[in-house]
């Protein structure tokens, strides 16, 4: 009986540390948005190991490549699922879209998949910085 109670207590504690997190993701630029609900552990690192099996199953169902993560909560559309990952207002988004070659001799072009936000290291964002 005590072993069963200990197991139940451990399971209850583990369940209490999980939090449902819903997000809308667009795994590739031409894919339709996908709504996903994950059960994430508190204080989990950005690789989100608690939902790895769920993400792998979704990759298979959606015929997505397995060579890179495409369904993490940090890739959510709009404001990210976690408050600490929320976008910072005023940042430029996808600033290099539509630009031609830079003309830099011996420069190396690079491809970026997905959207990104950009700010200059001296740009005031109001988040963790002191005004100049």
pLDDT tens digits, 53-108 = 999 999 999 999 988 888 988 888 764 434 444 556 666 777 777 778 788 888 88
Per residue in 3-49, pLDDT (tens digit) is 554 554 456 666 677 888 888 888 887 888 899 998 888 888 778 88
Kindly report the number of other CB atoms within 10 A of residue 34's CB atom: 17
What pLDDT score was predicted for residue 50? Answer: 87
Q: Can you give the pLDDT at residue 120?
A: 66
Residue 81 is predicted with a pLDDT of: 39
Q: What's the pTM value of the predicted model, to 2 decimals?
A: 0.54
* Bridge partner list, 93: 117
């Amino acid at each position: 009986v005590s072993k069963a109670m200990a197991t139940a207590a451990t399971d209850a504690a583990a369940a209490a540390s999980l939090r449902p997190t819903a997000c809308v993701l667009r795994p590739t630029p031409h894919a339709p948005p996908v709504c996903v609900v994950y059960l994430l552990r508190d204080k989990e690192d950005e690789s989100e190991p608690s939902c790895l099996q769920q993400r792998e199953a979704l990759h298979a169902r959606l015929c997505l490549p397995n060579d890179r993560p495409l369904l993490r909560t940090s890739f959510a559309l709009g404001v990210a699922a976690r408050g600490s990952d929320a976008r910072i207002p005023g940042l430029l988004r996808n600033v290099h879209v539509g630009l031609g070659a830079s003309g830099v001799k011996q420069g190396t072009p690079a491809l970026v998949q997905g959207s990104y936000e950009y700010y200059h290291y001296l740009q005031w964002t109001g988040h963790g910085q002191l005004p100049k």
